[in-house]
Amino acid sequence: MIMRAVLLLLWLSSSVFAQVQFTARASRTSAPVGEPIEVTFSVEGAASGVPTPQPQALTNLKLVGGPSTSTQTSIVNGRVSSSKTFTYFVSGIAPGAAVVGPVEIEVKGRRYATAPVNLSIVPAGTRSKSDSGKEDVFVQVIPDKRTAFVGEQIVLTYKLYFSANIFAPEIKELPKATGFWTEEFELPDQLVPRDEVVEGQSYKSIVFRKVALFATTSGELTVDPLTAVVQIERQQKSRRGRDPFFDDPFFSFGRRREAVEVTTRPLELNIKALPDLGKPTGEVAVGKYTASARVDKMQVQANDAVTLTIQIRGTGNIKMLPAPAITIPADFETFEPKVSEQVKRGPDRITGSKTFEYVLIPRASGTQMIPPLTYNCFNPETQSYETAGTPPISIEVGRGTSRGAESALPFEAKREVKTVGQDIAYAKTTPGAFTPLHELPHQQTVFWVMLGAPWLAFAGLVVAVRRRDEIGRTLPARRRRALRHARTHLLSAEAASAKGNFVEATRLLTVAVQGVLAEWTGLSASTHTTSDWEAEWLVRGHTREQWTLLREALELSDRSRFAGGSQSLQDIAKSIADVRAVFDSLERSS
C-alpha cells in the first residue's frame, strides 16, 4: 500500500513537471497521386486532457481517413513518460508539392503547434520508394504492342518488381478498359519470382496479372491504372538513435510490415480501323482462323435430322467470333444453331475454338448440297484479309417413310417455297423509246403536229368539196361531166356489143347520146322529141353533120328495140365510132 502511494506521488510529480511536445510526422515524404500517406500527430508528455488535433490546412492533399488514437505510458528508471498519437490518412490530389500545414492544440492552458510537413506527390504509377529513397516495390504494365487493329489481340502483362520481402499482392481496383473486350489469362497458383535488373537495380519480379484486350472501336484508347496493395516488410526506423546493429535482418523484431499501394501508369493504345482495301462484305473476324465443317450422316432419309457442325479454330477473340454466313438449301428445315466455345487462356495468347451445331431436317429427297463455307477474317500479322473455307458437303436424302400413318402414297408434303436471297432486279435489255430529259411529251412539237394535222386535213377536205360543188354547178363543168359519163356508157356499149348483146349495146348508146343532147340543148329526153333536139341543136350553133350522126345512133337504137336486134356488129361499132367522134369535136369546141 505504501509502495502504491509512492508510485502515484512520483507519477503526479512527473506529470506536473513534464515538458509537452507536439509533433507531426508523415510515413513517407513522397507518394503517387491518390495513394494514402499516413500522418501521425504525437503529443509527448501528456496523455490526458489532450484534444484531437484537426489538420485543416492541407495543400494539394485531401483527408481520406482517421483519426485513430493510441496512448502510451512508460516508466524508465523511475521516470514516467506518456504520449498520445493521432493518425490520419491523406492522399495527394495532383503531382507536385503538398503540405500538411501547422496544427494547433491547447494542452493545460498552453498552445502548441506542429511544424509544416512537406510532401512530394508524384504521378500515379510512379514507383514507390522507401523512406530511404530506394525504389523497393513498383508495378508495371507491359503491352506486347501499342498499335493494333480493331479486334486484334493485345496482351498486357502486369509485373510487380520488388527488392524487399513482400507478401502476395492484392489487386485493389481493376483498371477500366473502356472500348475493349477483356479476357483474363490463367496464371499458376504459385507465383515464382524471377531476377531482373531495372535501371541498374536488381529486383525480383512476378507476373501477377495477364490479360488480353480486344478493341471494339478505333482511336486513341486508354487503359486506366491498376492499383494493387502489397504487404512489404521494411526495416524499423530508429527514432531515438538506436544502434544500427539491430537493423540487421537477422533481428526480425527490427522490421515492420507495411501496406503499400502501387499503381501502374495509364496506358495509351493506338487502335486502327480495319483497312478498306479488299474488305469483304459482311462480318469479319479478326485473328488467324481455320474452319471445318462436317455432318454426322452423309446418307439420311427425308424428315430425319442431320447435324451440321461448323468449327472455327484459331487465335483471337473466340467468344466474339461471328456466326458463319452459311447458305442452307431451302429443302432443309433449319433451327437456331447451338453455340459452344473452348477458350484456352495462355500461356501467351488467347486461342480456342467456337462450334456451331445446326440441326437440319431434309424435307425433300435427292442429292442435297451444302455449299462451301467462306469465313472472312483479317489476319493482323499479314495485315490482309483471308478466307477460311470448307468444301461443299453432299448429303444423299432418301424418300423416307411417310409421316402420316394413313397416307400410303409416297408423296412429300407441300411446303412454302422460301426466298433464300434478295437482290435488285437485273438491268433492262431494251432501251425503250428515248425522250427529251425533263420534258413532258406535250412540250414536243410533234405532239401538236399529230393533234392538229387531222383537223387541218378535215378542214381542207371540207373546203375542197365545197369548192368542187360550186364549180360543178357551172355549164362547162356540167357538159364535161356529161361527156365523161357518155364516154363511159360508150365503153360499156362496146363491151356488150362484143358479147353479142346488141340490145343492151344500143340501149347504152342511146343513154350516152341522150345525156349529151340533154346537156348541150338543155332539153330532157322525157319531155322533148327528136325534132325539138334537132332544132335546138342547130340553134345553138352546132353542125348538121354532128346532129346527123347522133340521130342515126338514136335511130339505130330504136330499130334494135323494135326490130328485135337485127343490126349487125359492124353497124353498132360504126355508130359508136361516129358518136365518139362527135363527142371529141364537142370536147374540143368546149
Partner 1 sequence: MMRVVCVILFVCGLAAVALADSEFDAGLAAYQNSQWDAAIQSWESITARGETSGALEFNLGNAYFRKGDVPRAILHYERARKLLPRDNDVKQNLVLANRGIVDQILPQVRLELWNYFDGLRDTLSPRVLLWLIVVTNLSLVLALALYRFGRGSYQKLLRQTIVGTTCALCLATGWYVWRSASFADDHAIVMAEKTDVYSSPAETSTQLLSLHEGTKVKLGETLSEWIEVELADGRKGWMPKQDVEKI
Binding site for partner 1 (CB under 8 A): 422-438, 440-442, 447, 450-451, 454-455, 457-458, 461-462, 465
Angle at 512 between CA 511 and CA 517, to 5 degrees: 95
Query: Closest approach of Cβ 367 to partner 1, in Å?
Result: 31
Q: 422 or 568: whose CB is closer to partner 1?
A: 422
Residue closer to partner 1 by CB (options 64, 457) is 457
Q: In this complex, which beta carbon is closest to partner 1, that of residue 298 or of residue 450?
A: 450
CA angle 107, 113, 114 (to 5 degrees): 125
Residue among 252 and 429 whose Cβ is closer to partner 1: 429
- Smallest distance from partner 1 to CB 433, Å: 6
Listed residue (534, 538, 532, 486) closest to 509, CA to CA = 486
d(CA 352, CA 318): 6
- E-state strands within 497-568: none
Pick between residue 275 and residue 366 the one whose CB is nearest to partner 1: 275
Instruction: Give the 3-state secondary structure of residue 7.
Output: helix
**What residue has cell string 327528136?**
530
Contact 177, 302 (CB under 8 A): no
Q: Which CB, 431 or 476, lies closer to partner 1?
A: 431
Residue 100 CB, shortest distance to partner 1, in Å, is 54
Cα–Cα dist 485/537, whole Å: 20
CB of 429 to partner 1, least distance (A): 6
**Shortest distance, position 217 Cβ to partner 1, whole Å:** 20
Nearer to partner 1, 1 or 277 (CB): 277
Minimum CB separation of residue 387 from partner 1 in Å reads 20
Q: Residues of 204-222 as b/e, b for ≥16 C-beta within 10 angstroms? A: bbbbbbbbbbbbeeeeebe
**Least distance (Å) from partner 1 to the CB of residue 434?**
4
Cβ nearer to partner 1, comparing 239 with 428: 428
Could you give the angle at which helices 475-498 and 445-472 cross, rounded to 10 degrees? Answer: 90
What's the rounded Cα separation, in Å, for the pair 566 and 355?
A: 122
CB of 473 to partner 1, least distance (A): 18
Euclidean distance between CA atoms 10 and 581, whole angstroms = 189
Minimum distance, C-beta of residue 179 to partner 1, in the bound complex (Å): 24
Report whether the peptide linkage leading into residue 169 is cis, meaning its omega lies within 30 degrees of zero. no
Q: Which three cell numbers stand for residue 507?
A: 340501149
Are the C-beta atoms of residues 554 and 530 closer than 8 Å to each other? yes
**Spatial contact of 30 and 23, defined as CB atoms under 8 Å apart:** no
**At closest approach, how far in Å is the CB of 450 from partner 1?**
5
Quote the Cα angle for 172-176-181, to 5°: 125
Comparison of 425 and 563: residue with beta carbon closer to partner 1: 425
Q: Decide whether 462 or 495 has the Cβ nearer to partner 1.
A: 462
Tell me the sheet residues that pair with 422: none
By the 8 A CB rule, do 60 and 39 touch? no
Nearer CB in complex with partner 1: 7/461:
461
Which contiguous run of DSSP H or E holds residue 183? strand 180-184
Q: Whose Cβ is closer to partner 1: residue 259's or residue 457's?
A: 457
Asked if 167 contacts 304 with a C-beta cutoff of 8 angstroms, the reply is no
* Pairing mode, strands 153-162 and 30-32: unpaired
**Residue 78, Ramachandran bin (φ over 0: left; ψ between -120 and 50: alpha; else beta):** left
Q: Which is nearer to partner 1, 428 or 588 (CB)?
A: 428
Using CB atoms within 10 A of its CB, is residue 324 exposed (0-12), middle (13-18) or buried (19+)? buried
Hey, what's the cell of 407? 397416307
Residues in the chain: 590
User: Coil, helix or strand for 548?
Assistant: helix
| Cβ 423 to partner 1 shortest distance, Å | 8
CB of 394 to partner 1, least distance (A): 30
- Least separation in angstroms between CB 426 and partner 1: 7
